[in-house]
Homo-oligomer: A and B are copies of this chain.
Amino acid sequence: MIGTSISCQVTFLPSERIIKINSGTPLIRAARQAGLHINASCGGNGVCGKCRVMIKEGVVDGGISDRLSLEDIRKGYRQACTAIITEDIVVQVLEAEGLTAGILGTEVPERHRAAMHIFDIEELQEEGIFIPPVEKFFLELPRPDLNDRQADAGRLLRAMDEQYDERHIYISHFLLKRLRRVLRDDDFRVTATLARPVNRRFRSRLLNLQSGNWTGRNYGIAVDIGTTTVYGQLIDKQTGKILAESGDYNRQISYGEDVISRMIVAEKPEGLKKMHDMVTRSINNIIDSLLKQRSIDRDEITSITLAGNTAMTHLFLEIEPHNIRRSPYVPVSTMFPPIRSTDLGLHLGGHCMALLYPAVSSYVGGDIVAGVMGSGMYRTEKLTLFIDIGTNAEIVIGNQDWLACAACSAGPAFEGGGILHGMRAGAGAIEDFSLDPITLEPMNITIGAQPAVGICGSGLLIIISSLYECGIIDQRGRFNQKLKNERIRQGRSGYEFVLVRAEESGIERDIVLTEVDIDNYIRAKGAIYAGVTTLLAEVGLTVSDIEQVILAGAFGSYIDLDSAITTGLFPEISPDKFLYVGNGSLMGCRMSELSNHIRRDVVKTMQRMTGFELSEVPSYKDQYVASLFLPHTNAQLFPRAAERRQVMEKLKEKAELLA
């Protein structure tokens, strides 16, 4: 979200497919985006040397490896995996190595990703709600004299009223102790930092007072406390701009990967404190990094807004989570007061307030509320389906008038858990993929164009979808044992598909996808699909009523929508209705840092949110069992998925004819 990119035009030959793509993108991704298949086994770094293309016009950065001779290079050959697009180019996909690719290039169905939702600060400004909950005001107070001997505090309050129309301000004992000096250090010129209440009825709070004019330096921090990862943003409250971003593992991970095991630790003596300390260390690391990136002083941060699921929020606040995991699943609180950040052990100034996103229930946490706020779902007229996929998938259905939410345990498959070569989205993770339907040669695209070391969630989705579309696996996720190809083989735990051979991989072992992996994926996607359909049924609606789908979460950004629908992760909804908001929780925190109206709206929104406990809806179990197929037991629910499979069949036939 920081900075801007130049758009470059890439023309692929012989298909003459043309796409616009940001400069800095590896060429292989541009090809994939254009729907072209290029054999690319190793995933990147030019190890396998298979993905060579010829640059016919224009220049690319890199793309050179030992696999290319000087002669090759002079002729314009480059490795697509490491060639970076910097300007308009014309690329020849090599027919010798990409025969079927050529055909695919002209005839595969279009790819779809969710449109990126861009957070629009101007929108807030135009609507007049760009009013940070913590604002700075510069005041030049009249000096006391014999005709005006109002006390220092009263003088300050009078000026706030007269100059800024701000009344009902609470001044703490802490500030009264410093007030005399601060007022006089720069001749009664002071900057007041004011925290506004959520409810206009209540009082504002003077957070800080500085000698002189410091209104130009007012910063906030937004933090998403994820179970796995904590993300933070440094925000300029004057402009609304993000000045820096940072992320860190949630250090609680050393006490257990999932939320339940951390809650169990928290019930042990000192356990709760430990859990608090761990995540606080992660947050402090992020704060340190954010401040360092922009050389901003700790004391210049006037507020920090955080969101996490209900358990994470309890652990961070050192509030006992015991009953969150025990029927009837009652958290201690769903609303949290503003807390002095130092009381939470955060490395920020004593005046800095920590604001926590409220939750709806034990299983619909502040991260989801923040996502609903950040994505604007809470104020759209469109009937919207919001899905945040993490270890748990949270699902919200509704619009500005009502919201129904539920959470379902998708399991860790989307984060690489329970998958033999699964991994989190990191360097070397296969995240995009295509398959030559004839040769079954893969096009592995890895994060960071590194030799492949595993498969992340988005890769898993597209690999399984490709295998299914090409008829390599059936509806139950079982391999077609009639196919004779060296990439399909009997492994230790049943059949498997060899994605990357040991010599081309970054781990010196074959990277494979097993039937067990596919099974795990099917269970994960089944839980989510069943969650969506059950929640829809509970509110008396069907898939066809959905006017918009908002995807949130790290995983969401790379989801190939066609693959998701083909495998039955999402219901069949037109791809143009999909919107991706990135880390919705973080976006919600940022919006709260910038607009007090959002904080007010949160309270109203929460009152419109109804939580459903899926495990207690009898039909959920049935929906789940019916979803344990690709795409579903009832194939009629996925007509386009069937179509795609047929298209692929025909392509295969055509390619076989040509061959």
Query: A interface vs B, CB < 8 Å?
Result: 144-146, 148-155, 168, 170-173, 176-177, 179-181, 201-203, 317-320, 322-323, 327-337, 339, 343, 361-362, 613, 616
Q: How far is the CB of A560 from the nearest CB of chain B, in Å?
A: 38
Bound together, the chains give a CA A331 to CA B179 distance in angstroms of: 10
| Residue from A150, A152, A181, A339 having most chain B Cβ neighbours under 10 A | A152
Contacts of A318 in B (CB 8 A): 177
Bound together, the chains give a CA A336 to CA B334 distance in angstroms of: 32
| Residue from A153, A170, A327, A329 having most chain B Cβ neighbours under 10 A | A153
Contacts of A320 in B (CB 8 A): 177, 180-181
| Residue from the list B145, B172, B339 in contact with A173, Cβ < 8 A | B339
In contact, B180 and A317 (Cβ under 8 angstroms): no
In contact, B176 and A332 (Cβ under 8 angstroms): yes
Bound together, the chains give a CA A263 to CA B172 distance in angstroms of: 22
| Residue from the list B177, B337, B343 in contact with A319, Cβ < 8 A | B177
User: Given A173-B337, A202-B202, A339-B173, A179 and B330 touching (CB < 8 A)?
Assistant: no
User: Given A151-B334, A320-B177, A322-B180, A328 and B145 touching (CB < 8 A)?
Assistant: yes
In contact, A317 and B153 (Cβ under 8 angstroms): no
User: Given A319-B176, A323-B180, A337-B171, A151 and B201 touching (CB < 8 A)?
Assistant: no
Other A-B pairs, 9, CB within 8 Å; known A153-B332, A176-B333, A179-B332: A149-B328, A149-B330, A149-B361, A149-B362, A151-B331, A177-B319, A180-B332, A181-B320, A201-B201
Contacts of A329 in B (CB 8 A): 149
Contacts of A330 in B (CB 8 A): 144, 149-152, 155
Contacts of A201 in B (CB 8 A): 168, 201-202
Bound together, the chains give a CA A588 to CA B329 distance in angstroms of: 49
Please give me the 3 A-B residue pairs with the lowest Cβ-Cβ distance, nearest first.
Answer: A153-B333, A180-B320, A144-B330
Contacts of A152 in B (CB 8 A): 323, 330-333
In contact, B337 and A172 (Cβ under 8 angstroms): yes
| Residue from the list B148, B149, B151, B334 in contact with A332, Cβ < 8 A | B151
| Residue from A176, A201, A317, A336 having most chain B Cβ neighbours under 10 A | A176
User: Given A201-B201, A317-B176, A343-B173, A154 and B334 touching (CB < 8 A)?
Assistant: yes
Please give the count of copies of this chain that the complex contains: 2
| Residue from the list B144, B146, B333 in contact with A616, Cβ < 8 A | B146
Bound together, the chains give a CA A319 to CA B168 distance in angstroms of: 22
Q: How far is the CB of A316 from the nearest CB of chain B, in Å?
A: 11
Bound together, the chains give a CA A173 to CA B328 distance in angstroms of: 23
Q: How far is the CB of A187 from the nearest CB of chain B, in Å?
A: 14
Query: Which residue of B is nearest A334, CB measured?
Result: B151
Bound together, the chains give a CA A337 to CA B175 distance in angstroms of: 11
Query: Which residue of B is nearest A144, CB measured?
Result: B330
| Residue from the list B154, B173, B616 in contact with A317, Cβ < 8 A | B173
| Residue from A155, A337, A339 having most chain B Cβ neighbours under 10 A | A337
Bound together, the chains give a CA A255 to CA B343 distance in angstroms of: 36
In contact, A171 and B328 (Cβ under 8 angstroms): no
Contacts of A323 in B (CB 8 A): 144, 152, 180
Q: How far is the CB of A179 from the nearest CB of chain B, in Å?
A: 5
Q: How far is the CB of A255 from the nearest CB of chain B, in Å?
A: 20
Contacts of A343 in B (CB 8 A): 173
User: Given A181-B320, A202-B202, A320-B180, A335 and B173 touching (CB < 8 A)?
Assistant: no
Contacts of A176 in B (CB 8 A): 317, 319, 332-333, 336-337
Q: How far is the CB of A365 from the nearest CB of chain B, in Å?
A: 12
Q: Would you mind naming 13 contact pairs between A and B with Cβ atoms under 8 Å apart? A: A146-B616, A150-B330, A151-B333, A152-B323, A152-B330, A153-B333, A173-B337, A176-B319, A176-B333, A177-B317, A177-B318, A177-B320, A181-B320
Contacts of A153 in B (CB 8 A): 332-335
Bound together, the chains give a CA A330 to CA B150 distance in angstroms of: 6
Bound together, the chains give a CA A362 to CA B149 distance in angstroms of: 9
Bound together, the chains give a CA A171 to CA B149 distance in angstroms of: 37
In contact, A171 and B327 (Cβ under 8 angstroms): no
Bound together, the chains give a CA A328 to CA B149 distance in angstroms of: 6
Bound together, the chains give a CA A99 to CA B328 distance in angstroms of: 93
Q: How far is the CB of A148 from the nearest CB of chain B, in Å?
A: 8
Contacts of A322 in B (CB 8 A): 180
Query: Which residue of B is nearest A205, CB measured?
Result: B337
Contacts of A181 in B (CB 8 A): 320
Q: How far is the CB of A157 from the nearest CB of chain B, in Å?
A: 9
Bound together, the chains give a CA A202 to CA B205 distance in angstroms of: 12
Query: Which residue of B is nearest A149, CB measured?
Result: B328
Q: How far is the CB of A141 from the nearest CB of chain B, in Å?
A: 11
Bound together, the chains give a CA A334 to CA B149 distance in angstroms of: 11
Bound together, the chains give a CA A334 to CA B155 distance in angstroms of: 11
| Residue from the list B148, B179, B327 in contact with A146, Cβ < 8 A | B327
Contacts of A336 in B (CB 8 A): 173, 176
Bound together, the chains give a CA A332 to CA B178 distance in angstroms of: 9
Query: Which residue of B is nearest A359, CB measured?
Result: B151
